[in-house]
């Protein structure tokens, strides 16, 4: 009898220990925890644009509303800072890690570390180029190729029926980032059947207003003729407007401007005629992120890709949309 009790006690101890170690090794996705017991580490890109500021606010507000503890870090547009932040989340044993990768490549090592620690990773806003898709649960965010294509389609439509040469300068986002690569690809694809529409210069402005201004100033000096600016985000377009005005030209008239995002400052410039067309990219990803975490926490599966729904804005549509714009 004493022997049976001893065996039972030993078995109970083994079971208890294995249950505890499951929790300590990164929480195993936090399954069976209530939402207010979860800790999520979020490694943000930086604060480079109005879009990013709105995205950060939306994520922080959404976590507060859902009563989930958020550890937040700002990588200041540097991949090494993001990797450091993710490693520190792994060490802390958070339940989930979410991040918006500053560039597409170079994530496999740290994502494998998260996987080994049994911490599910959610990509928000930007993708990674890892072949092993088991390294993350889902990627939620915009279709950047579609955004670039919408920008190009609008431009083609503007010059429909004309074979006059159209010189476009492109202000690229952060080199190596998914939105810079994909918005460039989508745009090139949309204009390719129109050999009169040419990208005559293309350079990065790092998604910042200062960067857009600086690159535009140089392009205005080096390019004999600029008909159109295609900026990969509103902030660079707004910087370009400053440079165009300083050069004595009228943005929106002498030089047409197409941007991506649709933040308040961009939409205001569109409504005022300084920008001609904006392709929307929504920064409001907080709710989708919370829904995804909630599902994973309940043991449900989530789709590998969740695409944000978005629209486009002409000048008239911007005037109409502005009063109710949230960001
Ligand atoms: O990844 C989304 C992009 O990053 C936004 O279009 C841009 O404004 C931001 O910096």
Q: Give the CATH number of the domain where residue 73 resides.
A: 3.40.50.2300
**Using a 6 Å cutoff on CB, does residue 26 contact ligand 1?**
no
Query: Model confidence at 27, in pLDDT bands (50, 70, 90)?
Result: very low
Tokens of 263: 């933040």
Same domain, 288 and 183: no
- How far is ligand 1, taken at its centre, from the CA of residue 316, in Å? 24
Please indicate, yes or no, if residue 262 is contained in any of the structural domains.
yes
Mean pLDDT, to the nearest integer, of 175-180? Answer: 98
Give, using CA atoms, the residue closest to atom 3 of ligand 1. 179
Looking at the CA of residue 46, tell me the nearest atom of ligand 1: 10
- How far is ligand 1, taken at its centre, from the CA of residue 98, in Å? 17
Q: What percentage of the chain carries pLDDT values higher than 70?
A: 91
**Using a 6 Å cutoff on CB, does residue 144 contact ligand 1?**
no
Same domain, 274 and 294: no
DSSP code string of 292-313: HHHHHHTT----SEEEPP--EE
Of 12-21, 31-40, 71-80, the range with the highest mean pLDDT is 71-80
Please indicate, yes or no, if residue 287 is contained in any of the structural domains.
yes
Query: Model confidence at 31, in pLDDT bands (50, 70, 90)?
Result: low
Looking at the CA of residue 51, tell me the nearest atom of ligand 1: 8
Mean pLDDT, to the nearest integer, of 157-186? Answer: 97
Same domain, 302 and 262: no
Strand 305-307's sheet: what is its strand order?
69-74, 39-44, 96-99, 121-124, 138-141, 305-307
Please indicate, yes or no, if residue 314 is contained in any of the structural domains.
no
Same domain, 125 and 33: yes
**Using a 6 Å cutoff on CB, does residue 103 contact ligand 1?**
no
Please indicate, yes or no, if residue 48 is contained in any of the structural domains.
yes
**Using a 6 Å cutoff on CB, does residue 274 contact ligand 1?**
no
Please indicate, yes or no, if residue 8 is contained in any of the structural domains.
no
Same domain, 215 and 226: yes
Please indicate, yes or no, if residue 17 is contained in any of the structural domains.
no
Of 242, 263, 281, the residue at which a domain comes to its end is 281
**Using a 6 Å cutoff on CB, does residue 207 contact ligand 1?**
yes
**Using a 6 Å cutoff on CB, does residue 281 contact ligand 1?**
yes
Please indicate, yes or no, if residue 82 is contained in any of the structural domains.
yes
Q: What's the CA gap between 80 and 65, in Å, rounded?
A: 31
Same domain, 84 and 158: no
Domain containing residue 211 = 144-281
Please indicate, yes or no, if residue 103 is contained in any of the structural domains.
yes
Q: What's the CA gap between 156 and 143, in Å, rounded?
A: 20
Same domain, 121 and 151: no
The count of domains in the chain is 2
Looking at the CA of residue 234, tell me the nearest atom of ligand 1: 8
Whole-prediction pTM: 0.90
- How far is ligand 1, taken at its centre, from the CA of residue 203, in Å? 16
Same domain, 114 and 190: no
Same domain, 216 and 297: no
Same domain, 258 and 206: yes
- How far is ligand 1, taken at its centre, from the CA of residue 51, in Å? 6
Confirm if 77 and 174 have CB atoms less than 8 A apart: yes
pLDDT 10s digits, 209-224: 999 999 999 999 999 9
- How far is ligand 1, taken at its centre, from the CA of residue 262, in Å? 11
Same domain, 137 and 151: no
Looking at the CA of residue 263, tell me the nearest atom of ligand 1: 8
Angle between helices 50-66 and 264-271 (to 10 degrees): 130
Same domain, 194 and 242: yes
**Using a 6 Å cutoff on CB, does residue 261 contact ligand 1?**
yes
């Amino acid at each position: 009898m004493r022997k049976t009790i001893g065996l039972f006690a030993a078995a109970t101890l083994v079971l208890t220990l294995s249950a505890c170690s499951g929790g300590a090794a990164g929480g195993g996705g936090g399954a069976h925890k209530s939402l207010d017991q979860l800790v999520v580490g979020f490694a943000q890109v930086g604060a480079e644009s109005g879009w990013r500021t709105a995205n950060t606010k939306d994520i922080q507000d959404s976590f507060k509303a859902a009563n989930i503890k958020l550890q937040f870090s700002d990588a200041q547009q540097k991949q090494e800072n993001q990797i450091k932040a993710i490693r520190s989340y792994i060490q802390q044993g958070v339940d989930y890690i979410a991040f918006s990768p500053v560039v597409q490549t170079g994530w496999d090592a740290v994502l494998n570390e998260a996987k080994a620690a049994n911490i599910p990773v959610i990509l928000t806003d930007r993708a990674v180029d890892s072949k092993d898709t088991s390294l993350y649960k889902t990627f939620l965010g915009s279709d950047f190729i579609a955004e670039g294509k919408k920008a190009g389609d609008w431009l083609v439509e503007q010059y429909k029926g004309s074979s006059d040469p159209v010189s476009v300068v492109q202000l690229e986002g952060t080199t190596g980032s998914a939105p810079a690569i994909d918005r460039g690809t989508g745009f090139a694809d949309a204009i390719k059947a129109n050999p009169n529409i040419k990208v005559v210069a293309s350079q990065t402005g790092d998604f910042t207003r200062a960067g857009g201004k600086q690159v535009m100033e140089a392009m205005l000096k080096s390019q004999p003729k600029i008909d159109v600016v295609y900026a990969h985000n509103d902030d660079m377009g707004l910087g370009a407007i400053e440079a165009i005005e300083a050069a004595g030209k009228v943005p929106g008239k002498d030089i047409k401007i197409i941007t991506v995002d649709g933040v308040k400052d961009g939409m205001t410039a569109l409504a005022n005629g300084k920008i001609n067309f904006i392709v929307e990219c929504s920064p409001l990803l907080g709710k989708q992120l919370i829904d995804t975490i909630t599902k994973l926490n309940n043991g449900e599966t989530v789709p590998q890709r969740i695409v944000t729904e978005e629209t486009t804005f002409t000048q008239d549509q911007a005037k109409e949309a502005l009063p109710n714009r949230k960001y």
